[in-house]
Structure 1
Amino acid sequence: MGEAHRQPLAPILGETFRSGLTRPRAWRVGQLEALRCFLEEREEELAAAVSADTGKPPAELFFTETAFLQGEIRYALRHLGRWMRPRQASVPLLYLPASASWSFQPVGVVLVIGAWNYPLQLVLAPLVAAIAAGNCAVLKPSEQAPLTSAAIARGVRDYLDPRAFRVVEGGAEAARGLLAERFDHVFFTGSRAAGREVMRAAARHPVPVTLELGGRSPCIVDSDAGLRTVARRIAWAKFLNAGQTCIAPDYVLVRRELEGRLAAALREAVGEFYGLSPGEGGDYACVRNNARRRRLLERFPGIAAGECLRPTLIEGAGAEAVMSEEEIFGPVLPLVAYGDIEEAIDIVQRGGEPLALYLFTSDRRVQDRVIASTRSGGVCLNDLLFQAAVPSLPFGGVGSSGFGAYHGRAGFEAFSVRRSLMQRPIAADIRLRYPPYHGLKYRFLRWLALHFQ
């Protein structure tokens, strides 16, 4: 079990941080290697826990949880030295002789609050970034994935330095207790409503916050080229984890003349991928979150519900209904027909700022028009989800889908502060800089400031 939250953890880990333990590159590398060992040596235990909590099939679980985290660790280890290196800065002629540089410094003690839909990845990926940046961290896994939470707590205790890392298990009360402490950075993944609570709590101190929320991520299909491939890619991305992915396409905007053909191709792809009985020993996840399952059944009474909620297409969905409701976050995909690309752009704009936007077209003018006219955390052209899988790309939201980014270098920078260093020699002291300022001296200094600064 995780540590009972009976005493404030931020001050305890703050002592560790101030001791300088976490700053050397060798320590950071050692902790990242230890985290990699945890994932490798306890892969079966972690897989069993995640599967029991979420209903994910083995292959999907491996690629979206374990392999993803291993990739983040490898990328951080490969680039850490370059990230930590001080950067030289130019100095205007007016301030010479001098040298200037800046570097990334760790923020201190960070709090990571994870989510249940990817219960391993969404806790440990921010941890990779926090370690790489040289911080201490408190992890709060989701109470809605209790077996995974317990496995994370055991692994952190057994593999990582207990002076720098702790896990707190529990529900909303545990989270509120942690948010009452003063951390140096709060990283939250979850719903918009919970994100607002996190912001209010963090503002009491105040501290920087990264919010990874959600939103209605649209997928626009504006071309009939390779429609079967387009349908396969959409079906794969939408029904991965039974639609419980924050960057899954929430609805498809399709040119009116293509709607029937796309719907047929989507049904064909779903049958090919998951068979007639999705979830029964195949590669389709089940919706194990009871509250989420209940809300989906209330909202979509026609959804096929056995042991697992089956992939469901809604043809002829209205744009207003799509825009007025919360994100689906389940295996239901509405198809919304549009006349021209300007109509599609208008629908996307009225839906707020999603975490992701997807567009299928080879027309460069349409690509440029859609990207220039919309806002989203990320964009993927002619495919889906991969913008979040590349460690060299920042991943994060904008506006109502959150703010701040992580993965790769972006995560390192998120948990760092830029510290400037200016150095000048004592011997070279020009008296012209000192008061009094009048007459020719003042005019000369004005000229220098205007031309050499």
Structure 2
Amino acid sequence: MASASSRWETLWKRRIRRTRGGDVCVRTGPGECSDMLKRARAAFQAGRTANERFRLAQLDAVMRLVFEHECDFVDALGRDLHKPRFETVVSELILVKNEALYAVKNLRKWMEPQYVEKNLATALDECMVVSEPLGTVLILGSWASPVELCLVPLIGAIAAGNCAVISPSEYCTYTAELLHRLLPSYLDNECYHVVLAGTNEVPEMVDLKFDHVFYSGTREEGTKVSLAAARHLTPVTLVLSGKNPCYVDHDCDINTAARRIAWARFHNGGQSMAGPDYVLCHVEVKECLLQALRYALLVFYGSDARQSHSYGRLVNVENFTRVRDLLWRSGKVVMGGHVNEAEKYVSPTLLTDVCEMDPVMHQEYSGPILPVLTVESVDEAISFINRRDKPLCVYVYSSNSKVIARLMRETSSGSFCSNDSVLQSLMLCMPFGGVGPSGMGSYHGRYSFDTFSHKKSCLLRRSRIECLTYLRYPPYDERNLSLMTWASTLMQKSQGWCQIL
């Protein structure tokens, strides 16, 4: 009896954590998630989220949450990732505020039916596409951007009229627990819930038959999510990390390119899904580029990035070990290469003499390593990129518009950017997502609204023009078939004549 009591006490202690504010935060799992899902479904079926005013109030609450607790988020991300305040505010909080404000300003227009072109058969009818909410959705956040990748999809789900269960990454403990503590104080407690679950519990949660699942993170975990969702034909949006190539042409501003590449690769301690993962530079500019990258890193982080207040740390020991091992097994270190396991610190590192078959070019990781490879021409760069899986992003730095056009036209990726990096993934007016192995679906702005909406075709018809539609009825005869065949040939001159049915 005492032994059973002891085991229960140990289990209970493992399941309890404390937030920075001291509130007890009990880790939840699939069982608690199932209860939350039932409550959210009941609220959705009752029409709680259908009203425009309700949606606007919830979007306003998200904005207030971020405004009023900026310091708490800065502190939590500092503890989880050693993330500088500047990066937290710019790449996480401002992005969330802008998304919420953009949704508030455009929600009425997004909710309006979209009327489509009429034809002869529908001249007296109404044809429209109506956006209706999917139901109750599951949002699985990533530790790379633990606030942005939870709240920005949530904004889209709210705007579209869904209920939602949010599961922040367990690797960012302080941020996850902060969201768990704060969101119920701002959002409707029946419609929106936060789950603190482990990575190994994600497939079980997906298996609960949500109406949509949004996941951002690694391909390995994304595959598990997709398989679990497929069992119930649950639609998914996957934004998956991979190997984002960056081609540096001989005809470009090397110093500007180096600064922008270095910023994109090494901000947040190199933990970015949209950052460039390797550089393909023209052989003529290799030495100039390496020198410019070294100088940019010295300006950004000083001679010892470990002492810099602008440089982050890896999220956990597992990721540190993975990055360190890849660092020692691939290429030649020409700058950086310093590690400290106690601090989960890996210095900004440049690698050369990297082969296409080296582990750093194949294994998925997220850390401050930038391999620099050389190519003889843009044709070789395109061939190199196309031999690999379709990436989330492709970058090119060149002053030659024809080179840029070729990379954009002859490679396939979730997004593309020339002469800069990452910024295309932050734009409200453009979709961001992957293709093929880098994911499916997209989000941001109107595209988030569409992701969490079902586009329902609606034909509001009257009982007139029966003189035309009678041709479709049995008994069939050759005369009616001839008339319909003749009408269909008129499609070449006037669209819609064949649709007399």
Q: Which stretch shows the higher mean deviation, 225-234 or 125-134?
A: 225-234
What amino acid maps onto 2:462 in structure 1?
A: P
Partner of 2:170: 143
Q: Secondary structure of the residue that 1:346 maps to in structure 2?
A: helix
Runs of 4+ in 1 over 6 A off after TM superposition: none
Q: What's the counterpart of residue 102 of structure 1?
A: 129
Q: Which position in structure 2 is the counterpart of 1:432?
A: 470
Q: Report the Cα distance in structure 2 between the residues aligned to 1:378 and 1:143, rounded to whole angstroms.
A: 28
Which of 174, 179, 184 is the matching residue for 1:157? Answer: 184
**CA distances 1:132-158 after superposition (whole Å, capped 9, x unpaired):** 111000011111111111111112111
Higher relative contact order (CA 8 A, sep 6+): 1
Q: 1:261 to 1:93 in 2, by over 3 A?
A: same
Residue 25 of structure 1 corresponds to: 52
Partners of 1:176 and 1:440 in 2: CA distance: 59
Structure 1 equivalent of residue 486 of structure 2: 447
Note if 1:254 corresponds to 2:293.
Answer: no
- Is residue 230 of structure 2 the alignment partner of residue 203 of structure 1? yes
Which of the residues 42, 67, 71 maps onto 1:40?
Answer: 67
- Can you give the 5+ residue segments of structure 1 that lack an aligned partner in the other structure? none
Contact 1:2 1:167 in 2 (8 A): no
Match runs of 1:278-317 below 5 Å: 278-301=305-328, 303-306=337-340, 307=343, 308-317=345-354
Superposed CA RMSD: 1.8
Q: 1:363 aligns with which of 400, 423, 430?
A: 400
CA distance in 1, matches of 2:461, 2:365: 59
Are residue 125 (structure 1) and residue 152 (structure 2) matched? yes
Q: Secondary structure at the match of 1:300?
A: helix
What residue number does 2:452 align with? 415
1:394 aligns with 2:431: yes
Pick one of 378, 401, 404 that aligns with 1:341: 378
Is the contact between residue 50 and residue 56 of structure 1 (CA under 8 Å) also seen in structure 2?
A: yes
Give the alignment of 1:161-176 within 5 angstroms: 161-176=188-203
Deviation at 1:15, TM superposition (A): 1.4
Structure-2-length-normalised TM-score:
0.87
CA distance in 1, matches of 2:199, 2:301: 36
Equivalent in the alignment of 2:19: none
The range that moved more, 413-422 or 92-101, is 92-101
CA shift, 1:45, in A, is: 1.2
**Which of 400, 411, 422 is the matching residue for 1:374?**
411
**Aligned residue type for 1:345:** I
Tell me if structure 1 keeps the 8 A contact 2:326–2:360: no
Indicate how the Cα distance of structure 1 residues 448 and 225 shifts in structure 2: closer, same or farther if over 3 A, else same. closer
Q: In the alignment, residue 374 of structure 2 is paired with which amino acid? A: A
Match of 2:245 in 1: 218
Give me the whole-angstrom Cα distance separating, in 2, the residues matched to 1:231 and 1:96: 59
One of 57, 80, 92 as aligned partner of 1:53: 80
Residues 156 and 444 from structure 1, CA distance in 2 versus in 1: closer, same or farther, beyond 3 angstroms?
same
Q: Deviations over 1:351-378 (max 9, x none)?
A: 2111111101121221121122211111
Q: CA offsets, 1:390-418, max 9 Å, x none?
A: 11010000111111100111111010110
182-191 or 215-224, larger mean C-alpha shift: 215-224
Matched with 1:236 is 263
Q: Percent identity between the aligned chains?
A: 35
CA deviation string 1:198-244 (max 9, x = no partner): 11110111110011111110110003432111111111111111111
Tell me the equivalent position of 2:28: 4
Task: Answer with 92-101 or 326-335: which moved more.
Answer: 92-101
SS of equivalent to 2:396: strand
Distance 2:255 2:464 in 1: 74
The amino acid that maps onto 2:77 is V
Q: TM-score with structure 1 length normalisation?
A: 0.96
* Secondary structure at 1:266 match in 2: helix
CA distance in 2, matches of 1:439, 1:311: 77
Alignment partner, residue 320 of structure 1: 357
Per-residue CA distance 1:263-308 (angstroms, 9 max, x = gap):
0110000000111121424211112321111111122136212443
